[in-house]
């Protein structure tokens, strides 16, 4: 069965600093990978997705992620954090082309200080 592991339940950065949120996946077949963001009391918003085209995926709000098969990783980065980036971030995996079922990690809360 597929799964994802997000290292670090909380990550703190200063405004303007690099954001790095880690996600490692486990899958016996080529996965489809997603990053979602959740603001307080809101649903999840898709940041970006990997569907086996380019290994470096660019998303919204300046975020990007790189698929590394050798490391089974899909880490999320942003060169310069903004206060508005403070939220909960979830990595998710699906192994079917229809994305019928997403399996989520436990999430990483990003804290941004001035």
Partner 1 sequence: DTGVSQDPRHKITKRGQNVTFRCDPISEHNRLYWYRQTLGQGPEFLTYFQNEAQLEKSRLLSDRFSAERPKGSFSTLEIQRTEQGDSAMYLCASSLVGSEQYFGPGTRLTVT
CA distance 35 to 28: 20
For the bound state, the minimum distance from the C-beta of residue 87 to partner 1, rounded and expressed in Å, comes to: 14
DSSP single-letter state for residue 79: S
Is residue 113 involved in binding partner 1 (CB under 8 A)?
Answer: no
CA distance 105 to 4: 5
Give per-residue burial for 68-85: e unless 16+ CB within 10 Å, then b.
Answer: eeeeebbbbebeebeeeb
Size of the site for partner 1 (CB under 8 A): 23
Contacts of partner 1 in 32-71 (CB under 8 A): 34, 36, 41-46, 49
- Taking CB under 8 A as the criterion, the residue among 11, 65, 92, 110 binding partner 1 is 92
* Nearer CB in complex with partner 1: 61/80: 61
Tokens of 45: 């918003």
- Taking CB under 8 A as the criterion, the residue among 53, 83, 100, 114 binding partner 1 is 100
For the bound state, the minimum distance from the C-beta of residue 29 to partner 1, rounded and expressed in Å, comes to: 16
CA distance 59 to 26: 23
Binding site for partner 1 (CB under 8 A): 9, 34, 36, 41-46, 49, 90, 92, 97-107
């Amino acid at each position: 069965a597929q799964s994802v592991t997000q290292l670090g339940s909380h990550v703190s950065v200063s405004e303007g600093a690099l954001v790095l949120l880690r996600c490692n996946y486990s899958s016996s077949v080529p996965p489809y990978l997603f990053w979602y963001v959740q603001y307080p009391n809101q649903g999840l918003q898709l940041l970006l997705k990997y569907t086996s085209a380019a290994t470096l995926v660019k998303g919204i709000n300046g975020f990007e992620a790189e698929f590394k098969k050798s490391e089974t990783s899909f880490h999320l980065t942003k060169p310069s954090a903004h206060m508005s980036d403070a939220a909960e971030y979830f990595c998710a995996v699906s192994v079917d082309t229809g994305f019928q079922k997403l399996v989520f990690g436990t999430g990483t809360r990003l804290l941004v200080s001035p």
